[in-house]
Amino acid sequence: MTSPYLDYTTGDPIADTKAPAGPVAERWNRRRFEAKLVNPANRRKHTVIVVGTGLAGGAAGATLAEQGYHVVQFCYQDSPRRAHSIAAQGGINAAKNYRGDGDSVQRLFYDTVKGGDFRARESNVHRLAEVSVEIIDQCVAQGVPFAREYGGLLDTRSFGGVQVSRTFYARGQTGQQLLLGAYQALSRQIAAGNVEMHARTEMLDLIVADGRARGIVARDLVTGRIDTYFADAVVLASGGYGNVFYLSTNAKNSNATAIWRAHRRGAHFANPCFTQIHPTCIPRSGDHQSKLTLMSESLRNDGRIWVPVRAGDTRAPADIPEDERDYYLERIYPSFGNLVPRDIASRAAKNVCDEGRGVGPGGQGVYLDFADAIARLGRDAVAAKYGNLFEMYARITAEDPYATPMRIYPAIHYTMGGLWVDYDLQTTVPGLFAIGEANFSDHGANRLGASALMQGLADGYFILPATLADFLARHPHDEIPPDHPAVTDAVSEVTDRLYRLLSNNGDRTPDSFHRELGEILWDKCGMARTDAGLREALERIPALREEFWRRVRVPGSGSDLNQSLEKANRVADHLELAELMCLDALHRTESCGGHFREESRTDGGEAERRDEEFSYAAAWEFTGTGTAPVLHREQLLFEYVHPTQRSYT
Amino acid sequence: MNLTLRIWRQPGPDSEGAMTTYEVSGISPDMSFLEMLDTLNEDLIERGDEPVAFDHDCREGICGACGMVINGDAHGPERTTTCQLHMRHFTDGETIDVEPWRAAAFPVVKDLVVDRSAFDRIIGAGGYVTVATGSAPEAHATPVAKPAADTAFEHAECIGCGACVAACPNGSAMLFTSAKVVHLASLPQGAPERETRVLDMVGTMDDEGFGGCTNTGMCTTVCPKGIPMSSITTMNREFLRATRKGGGSR
């Protein structure tokens, strides 16, 4: 059987029509000036739905409500404070240049375009760098307790291999503190009656009528009730799709349903194969593993990564003499050593494990050794820098990283791909916007450390409120009848599917399918991808999907809290999205950023990007479950940052 | 490891609940407590029974979603969140009691899931700084002494899990509320709303049906983030100060 997906066709090219022409540094100002405004007295008349309450959604909901719009907001968690942005550790980038170390908007722009391996849009990235400085002001004013120096000013650190110190942080809990800032601003608007908040409520479909997004279908997770909500615009801030891999650093309930249902209703999905694998996660301890835990990559500043020289060496690390250890990053990349970028470090770890030299259970791990750092700096100095991370590691693994090397292994961490959006963050469905990790816009094929928080807050606080006003001003409020066929169709599709899941009476759990899908993706569409492997995945995924609908078992009813039903419904969407990811990875025969094709390497064995053929964003149009999608290319132009091949040797 | 679990099962908010006994086997000491429950739930689904409902999400100890009373202790025997508790802290053959947070202000939704939305309403009553997006002054315009910034951070670490309420014999939310009051009162940015904030938050806390504080210290003992008992003292002082200043609530 060959996958029908292989017969995908190429449609008209797609272009961003919203970014103004002219010098890149003036485009955002110009767009803001040209955007139409909504009279403050008229804003109450406009309802905006926001799905998700993370950094992007929380910031957008609070800001739009403050400005006078009527916001109806949703999250599947029991409180908007628990969105997974809360787990971000490292920090947030901003071109403040408080250190006087040569940072600027221009440099942050340059670093982000280059770090994204030249697969992001210059206009968007420049705007992100401009807005970054305002984010810090906003968060400080909200009372976000950033780290400070004794003089009372904000501290910064360097991150992810860039040469300036532009990362603001709150110990290892920057995401938590920024999210609580947005959550508190949102809570103020909820209390004031400007935001109608629906916690424990999950979006299950998008209502598109007469060519425009008009609302959503959502399920109250406690009562099981299916309701429709109408609005003048819908904003998806539902995060990324890393959980399609089953094991990832995402929250257990993070899911792709909102963006996937929007895709099925006409929103193009861009670059789904661009996923980021983080090199420093705690390895899995067994088949029971339910998720993976990241440890800040700052550990690579002082830890040395190694594996035994000999395959199958099962001696304890302390018994392996120095000359039988392979510090492979230092050996292969002498100038960057242990500090090579995330994608390179991850692939190198995979390679040594594939050679049978991995350590720990299942041979899926490498050592991260602090013995030299402890000898050089002393235990106390190492504890002062990394104490909380060492504690976390010890709690999870029951090993003492001061005495024995840590074991680490790469894990799925972030997805650069997402819904295609124009400069206004609007998808291909008019009135549907996507912000934060849910869209594809700013990170190209690889995201730099401490840039996800920056993008989420930039979109939510500053960019969307300006561009959404333009849309609302151009589309006066009108209503569709609640019995419009688009509404009844969406509702019956949702209820039919839930009914089908509940009445299936199969013999396999939703999680068992999710695990199996995750294994296929990790093997075939993970750190290294091949033509043959991706073709195999494109055969296995539809077969697994068919088996899912035949054999899945969901106990309980649809009329109360039913976590198996929630899970099964999300896995059903993962089983469709996974197929598109593999097709995207198959069609992009170059290597770039987080997407490494074994066939596309330089003579030195490193990733080889092929700009002549692939300098575009791939925006996929849905045509039906299991039928070939249509590819629309958005050509990328680089007027300011000229593409170069990355080299770290 | 083989374990006997006695778990609180309650089909819905208005139904009767009961402790129900389950046996689980093949539990690895490296599993987290929630992964042990996952194992039980997979077995239950395969048998066509309803799995045990429990809240969880990040499984990294930061989102605050998970929480259950394990052998009488909120989050169990270690001072951490339930998701970061590992089975190596239990012994083979042990019987483990698992119950939801018990507090008047946290009604049970189903099994181990409770409704903690009262916490959101306490924050909405004043746990913020009023600052419209885009109106903020330059970040370095107001220096903050490092000790004050550190105090603010230590209180801002609260994850809103509700263990403090569950452990308190009075079902009090003083530690949760005081953590936010002290966080914002420590910073110059929080000063303009200092009085209204504490009065409104405490008022809402009382209205939501949380009990009073009798200084048992159970809250801080179980707090996975180590919010100190002094937080409550400071809030009481802030409350008194605001009352004396005649700063009526908003």
A63 SS3 class: helix
At residue B249, does pLDDT exceed 70?
no
To the nearest whole percent, how much of chain B has pLDDT over 90? Answer: 98
Contact between A410 and A276 under an 8 Å Cβ cutoff? The reply is no
- Looking at domain B3-110, its CATH superfamily turns out to be Beta-grasp domain (3.10.20.30)
- In chain A, residues with a C-beta closer than 8 Å to the C-beta of B106 are none
Number of A/B CB contacts below 8 angstroms equals: 223
Q: Which of B65, B88, B143 sits opposite A153 (nearest CB)?
A: B143
- A141 with B129: Cβ contact below 8 A: yes
Rounded to whole angstroms, how far apart are CA atoms A206 and A211?
A: 12
Give residue A339's pLDDT: 84
- In chain A, residues with a C-beta closer than 8 Å to the C-beta of B149 are 145-148, 152
Does residue A395 sit in the same domain as residue A517?
no
What is the band of B248 on the pLDDT scale with cuts at 50, 70, 90? Answer: low
Radius of gyration of chain A (CA): 24
Give residue B250's pLDDT: 61
Of residues A274 and A341, the one with the higher pLDDT is A274
Q: Which of B48, B110, B160 sits opposite A81 (nearest CB)?
A: B160
**Of B142, B188, B186, B182, which Cα lies nearest the Cα of A136?**
B142
CB count within 10 Å of CB B162 equals 22
Which region among A294-303, A526-535, B178-187 has the lowest average model confidence (pLDDT)? A294-303
Which region among A155-169, A490-504, A529-543, A565-579 has the lowest average model confidence (pLDDT)? A155-169
Does residue A491 sit in the same domain as residue A409?
no
At residue A649, does pLDDT exceed 80?
no
Rounded to whole angstroms, how far apart are CA atoms B219 and B215?
A: 9
Delimit the domains of chain B by residue range: 3-110, 117-244
Dig out the tokens for B148 from the structure. Answer: 């004050």
State how far Cα B161 lies from the chain centre: 2
Interface test mutation site (partner A, options B38, B45, B82, B140, max chain A beta carbons within 10 A): B45
* Active-site residue, from A342, A357, A407, A588: A342
Interface test mutation site (partner B, options A563, A564, A565, max chain B beta carbons within 10 A): A563
Q: Please report, for residues A194, A229, A230, A240, the alpha-carbon distance to residue A48 in angstroms, rounded to integers and kept in the order given.
A: 11, 10, 8, 21
Is A362 within the bounds of a domain?
yes
- A78 with B84: Cβ contact below 8 A: no
Dig out the tokens for A256 from the structure. Answer: 């792709």
Boundary (domain end) residue, out of A381, A413, A445 = A413
Is A209 within the bounds of a domain?
no
A535 φ, ψ (degrees, to nearest 5): -65, -40
- In chain B, residues with a C-beta closer than 8 Å to the C-beta of A560 are 11-12, 110
- A185 with B39: Cβ contact below 8 A: no
**How confident is the model over A168-181, as a mean pLDDT?**
94
pLDDT digits (tens, 9 = 90+) for A600-626: 998 888 899 999 999 999 999 999 998
At residue A439, does pLDDT exceed 70?
yes
To the nearest whole percent, how much of chain A has pLDDT over 70? Answer: 99
CATH number, position A315: 3.90.700.10
Q: Which of A149, A395, A564 sits opposite B80 (nearest CB)?
A: A395
Contact between B46 and B61 under an 8 Å Cβ cutoff? The reply is no
A532 to chain B, closest Cα gap in Å: 34
- In chain B, residues with a C-beta closer than 8 Å to the C-beta of A554 are 45
Q: Which domain holds residue A585?
A: 485-616
- In chain A, residues with a C-beta closer than 8 Å to the C-beta of B129 are 141-143, 184
β-bridge pairing A167-168 and A47-51: unpaired
Q: Which of A145, A199, A286 sits opposite B30 (nearest CB)?
A: A286
pLDDT digits (tens, 9 = 90+) for B43-61: 999 999 999 999 999 999 9
pLDDT digits (tens, 9 = 90+) for A308-332: 999 999 999 999 999 999 999 999 9
Task: Report the DSSP beta bridge partners of residue A508.
Answer: A552
- A82 with B64: Cβ contact below 8 A: yes
pLDDT digits (tens, 9 = 90+) for A393-426: 999 999 999 999 999 999 999 999 999 999 999 9
Residue of A nearest to B114 (CA): A78
Q: Which of A140, A147, A173 sits opposite B62 (nearest CB)?
A: A173
Rounded to whole angstroms, how far apart are CA atoms B167 and B171?
A: 7
- In chain B, residues with a C-beta closer than 8 Å to the C-beta of A509 are 42, 45-46
A423 to chain B, closest Cα gap in Å: 20
- B139 with A79: Cβ contact below 8 A: no
- B136 with A137: Cβ contact below 8 A: yes
Task: Report the DSSP beta bridge partners of residue A545.
Answer: none
**Of A570, A540, A539, which Cα lies nearest the Cα of A554?**
A570
> What is the length of chain B?
250
**Of B165, B164, B172, B139, which Cα lies nearest the Cα of B227?**
B164
- In chain B, residues with a C-beta closer than 8 Å to the C-beta of A508 are 46
A68 to chain B, closest Cα gap in Å: 11
CATH number, position A506: 1.20.58.100
pLDDT digits (tens, 9 = 90+) for B10-21: 999 999 999 999
Does residue A509 sit in the same domain as residue A600?
yes
Give residue A53's pLDDT: 98
**How confident is the model over A77-87, as a mean pLDDT?**
98
- B45 with A143: Cβ contact below 8 A: no
Does residue A388 sit in the same domain as residue A503?
no
A521 φ, ψ (degrees, to nearest 5): -65, -40
Rounded to whole angstroms, how far apart are CA atoms B1 and B94?
A: 9
Give residue B190's pLDDT: 98
- Interface confidence, given as ipTM, is 0.98
pLDDT digits (tens, 9 = 90+) for A356-386: 999 998 899 999 999 999 999 999 988 888 8
Q: Which of B49, B62, B125 sits opposite A176 (nearest CB)?
A: B62
Boundary (domain end) residue, out of A360, A393, A413 = A413
Residue of B nearest to A190 (CA): B124
- A293 with B60: Cβ contact below 8 A: yes
Contact between A274 and A415 under an 8 Å Cβ cutoff? The reply is yes
State how far Cα A76 lies from the chain centre: 18
| Residue A304 appears among annotated catalytic residues | no
**Of A519, A27, A62, A580, which Cα lies nearest the Cα of A284?**
A519
Is A193 within the bounds of a domain?
no
Of residues A17 and A146, the one with the higher pLDDT is A146
Boundary (domain end) residue, out of A363, A388, A413 = A413
Does residue A603 sit in the same domain as residue A502?
yes
What is the band of A161 on the pLDDT scale with cuts at 50, 70, 90? Answer: low
Say which DSSP state A282 is in: P
- B133 with A138: Cβ contact below 8 A: yes
Rounded to whole angstroms, how far apart are CA atoms B77 and B96?
A: 11
- B127 with A184: Cβ contact below 8 A: yes
Task: Report the DSSP beta bridge partners of residue A415.
Answer: A275
**Burial state string for A221-250 with b = 16 or more CB within 10 A and e = fewer than 16:** bbebebebbbbbbbbbbbbbbbbbbbbbbb
At residue B138, does pLDDT exceed 80?
yes
Does residue A394 sit in the same domain as residue A494?
no
Give residue B116's pLDDT: 98
A141 SS3 class: helix
A583 to chain B, closest Cα gap in Å: 30
**Burial state string for A484-517 with b = 16 or more CB within 10 A and e = fewer than 16:** bebbeebbeebeebbeebbebebebbbbbbbbbb
- In chain A, residues with a C-beta closer than 8 Å to the C-beta of B57 are 77, 82, 84, 251-254
Q: Which of A86, A147, A187 sits opposite B123 (nearest CB)?
A: A187
Give residue A159's pLDDT: 73
- In chain A, residues with a C-beta closer than 8 Å to the C-beta of B110 are 222, 560-561
CA distance between the termini of chain B: 56
Residue of B nearest to A64 (CA): B133
Rounded to whole angstroms, how far apart are CA atoms A243 and A256?
A: 8
- A177 with B156: Cβ contact below 8 A: yes
Does residue A282 sit in the same domain as residue A391?
yes
* DSSP string of A301-322, one letter each residue: GT-EEEEESSTT--S-GGGS-G
Rounded to whole angstroms, how far apart are CA atoms A281 and A298?
A: 12
Q: Quick check: pTM over 0.95? A: yes
Does residue A503 sit in the same domain as residue A587?
yes
A413 SS3 class: strand
How high is the mean pLDDT of chain B?
A: 97
- In chain A, residues with a C-beta closer than 8 Å to the C-beta of B55 are 78
Is A319 within the bounds of a domain?
yes
CA distance between the termini of chain A: 43
Is A493 within the bounds of a domain?
yes
Is A254 within the bounds of a domain?
no
Q: Which of A134, A191, A461 sits opposite B125 (nearest CB)?
A: A191
Contact between A302 and A370 under an 8 Å Cβ cutoff? The reply is yes
Residue of A nearest to B40 (CA): A288
Interface test mutation site (partner A, options B28, B57, B78, B158, max chain A beta carbons within 10 A): B57
B97 to chain A, closest Cα gap in Å: 22
Which residues have C-beta within 8 Å of that of residue A390, sequence separation ≥ 6? A382, A383, A401, A402
Is A117 within the bounds of a domain?
no
- In chain B, residues with a C-beta closer than 8 Å to the C-beta of A154 are 139-140
- B124 with A136: Cβ contact below 8 A: no
CATH fit for domain B117-244, picks 3.40.50.1820, 1.10.3720.10, 3.30.1490.20, 1.10.1060.10:
1.10.1060.10
Which residues have C-beta within 8 Å of that of residue A121, sequence separation ≥ 6? A16, A19, A423, A441, A442, A617, A634, A636
Interface test mutation site (partner B, options A71, A76, A137, max chain B beta carbons within 10 A): A137
Give residue A570's pLDDT: 98
Give residue A476's pLDDT: 85
Is A494 within the bounds of a domain?
yes
Count up the domains in chain A and report the number: 2
